[in-house]
Structure 1
């Protein structure tokens, strides 16, 4: 039995709660996954899972084995890193979750990054809410705003910049707001995460003003907000990643630059592991560098230009 391979399979079954899901992730058949877990149980003379026709759950011994199994995998990957002094040797798949706007920004730059790394592949998932990293097999996730989960390693890499915008057709029809107090009287296109989205936050000098708006449209994806704004649907707060080309081309008009939307920290999070695999570290460095290349994501100071 290949103990390391069996331990990897055990961890994926524990994370996904499913033999079939683990088989899909590992590129194996479901019977092969079942055999690996059974061999591991026989090897250590202990039962790792409670099995029934409708459910699969870890035993106490299985729970205890997770951290030890992860240490073994981390040590094996660390040996691989030590054997390779050149970062271009990173190989394997990295799964990363990104907010939609930043995901588009990263996807433009990903092909060039992968050109010299033939053994590396990246699975990008657009996510609007925090994920269960271990349960969903996610190596890295970028979150906007403060991160409250103390079990994760967090690395702040930049700050969001957004603009309040509308299409010229909307401005012609409804006019341009002159003050934050006028926003509730306008048609607003809102982005929501888990029920949020009916209020916008702006800087008024050194103060933060939170404005309650009355959305005509709400979406849980910023790309949809962008398209609705271009179609003249109303005012929208959009990431500079989505809006700047349209502003430059006149397809969108920037509103009230004296009251910029509040900027949020951009943070990369990953599970607390002693050794970060080379493949994950390579993608992490790529994301950090890509964000750092954009001046509007680089500092915590207010950006109105």
Structure 2
């Protein structure tokens, strides 16, 4: 059985190293299935910790790694946003401190970044390098000194994990286009201003289009992940439903399997009733292992 206690810093470190080793495998790479990918990570993780006792379950490892990746992605985006401000005299430590303040502007992360102990491992992986779009060449923001840094930015990171931290487009347009002067300007300056405004407007439209495309990609990715998880759950349940109890010697395990079968079948009946008037799982799951089917009763078959 797997543990239910929280992960220590050392466990997170080992988990991240296992994830990196499997995900960056030059031989298998992207051609491995999701089941094989996570199975290798869990095996490598539990093998490293085997001398300390019980390991972690697949779902536990997946959930923890998802949390780490989500927060690291978000902080990477926030760091890029701060770096694109080009604050005069700001050190890497200043940028990181301001990025963490920006990170906490998101309501989901008010308590701050929780994975400093693995940041040095995860921050530079290839997965994050091209995820952040930059508008550094299109506008200039006022510099903030250390006393103003916590008040110098009002917008949180983008709400969608993995997307670029886009600046407020309306505010960006205002900074680029509405730059009026108190004195009349010359013809050349007027033409230059008009040209700059047109180019800036085009750039803003391009950013909007990129944002829309990234949102669509994120929605597709969420649907794919939901489908994968649903299929994996169904596969796990089917293993329980069709397990041969004659091969199991432990009476407590047999009772557990029977209880799980009852629970799974009841959940499937409820889902079928609530989602559609048609039976989603067909006659096979309508009365599995009971009278009215070609399968024998559980009690007759396994007892």
Instruction: Please state which band the TM-score falls in when normalised by the shorter chain.
Output: under 0.3
What is the TM-score normalised by the length of structure 1?
0.23
The answer to which structure has the higher strand fraction is 1
Q: Name which structure has the greater RCO, CA cutoff 8 Å, separation 6+.
A: 1
What is the TM-score normalised by the length of structure 2?
0.23
The answer to which structure has the higher helix fraction is 2
